Amino acid sequence: MIQLNALHLGIEPHLRDAAAMGELARVAGEIETLGAAPVFVDWPKRPGFPHDPTRYERFREDLVRGAAELQGAAEAGDKDAVVAAYARLDASCTACHKRYSPTY
């Protein structure tokens, strides 16, 4: 999951940078892939997971959808849509960590 952080932080300064749209789309695709990786999907099924997992999947879907939207918006060069998709993506990190990550 630490891989998510570098990708995520790398995006933020370039949201309205027309020259970075191709790179934004590529990174968004990587986040989408990480968000669908088995280690992430199955995290709440680990023995001893200490929380009710009900909302985990919803937050994970927000992450994957936000990344997919970001990729599409960057490919289209639509800066407002890029910013909106990033906001959704970013909210998923915070929402999930608040409930599920002991390190945040």
Binding site for ligand HEC (CB under 6 A): 1-2, 4-5, 8, 43, 56, 59-60, 63, 89, 92-93, 96-97, 100-103
In the bound state with ligand HEC, the residue whose beta carbon lies nearer, of 5 and 33, is: 5
Q: Which is nearer to ligand HEC, 1 or 36 (CB)?
A: 1
Task: For 84, list phi and psi in degrees, rounded to 5.
Answer: -65, -40
How far is it, in rounded angstroms, from Cα 99 to Cα 78?
A: 32
Residues 90, 86: Cα–Cα separation, whole Å: 6
Minimum Å gap between C-beta 101 and ligand HEC is 4
Residue (16 or 104) nearer to ligand HEC, CB: 104
CA atoms of 20 and 11, how far apart (whole Å): 9
